[in-house]
């Protein structure tokens, strides 16, 4: 998770990545976008998605842990 988070810092926020993808596709015809550019954008989006999933998993585990602690108190 830490490796993914460090990678995500290099790419900016998810919103910025989506803006980048949109600008690349709007600025030029889709047929003029290079394969390398699309592959790079895909990698950025996959990293952002992985970071989001890791954070969601972390939050869910914390929630389960908190619920277990509350259950012990009852």
Give pTM, 2 decimals.
0.59
Helix (H, G, I), strand (E, B) or coil at 37: helix
Whether residue 52 lies inside any domain: the answer is yes
Q: Are 52 and 6 in contact (CB under 8 A)?
A: no
Whether residue 48 lies inside any domain: the answer is yes
Whether residue 16 lies inside any domain: the answer is no
Whether residue 44 lies inside any domain: the answer is yes
**Total of domains in the chain:** 1
Question: Average pLDDT for residues 36-55, to the nearest whole number?
Answer: 86
Whether residue 6 lies inside any domain: the answer is no
40 class by beta-carbon count within 10 Å (0-12 exposed, 13-18 middle, 19+ buried)? middle
Q: What is the distance between the alpha carbons of residues 21 and 41, in angstroms, rounded to a whole number? A: 7
pLDDT(54) > 80: yes
Tokens of 3: 């490796």
For 21, residues 6+ apart whose C-beta sits below 8 A from its C-beta are 41, 45
pLDDT(5) > 60: no
Whether residue 54 lies inside any domain: the answer is yes
Whether residue 27 lies inside any domain: the answer is no
Whether residue 68 lies inside any domain: the answer is yes
pLDDT of residue 72: 92
Which domain covers residue 63, as residue numbers? 35-73
Q: What does the pLDDT look like over 8-41, one tens digit per residue?
A: 555 567 777 777 777 777 766 656 677 788 788 8
């Amino acid at each position: 998770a830490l490796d993914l988070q460090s990678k995500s810092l290099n790419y900016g926020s998810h919103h910025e990545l989506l803006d980048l993808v949109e600008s690349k596709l709007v600025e030029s015809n889709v047929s003029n976008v290079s394969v390398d550019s699309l592959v790079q954008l895909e990698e950025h989006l996959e990293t952002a998605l992985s970071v989001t999933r890791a954070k969601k998993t972390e939050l869910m585990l914390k929630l389960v842990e908190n619920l277990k602690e509350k259950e012990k108190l009852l």
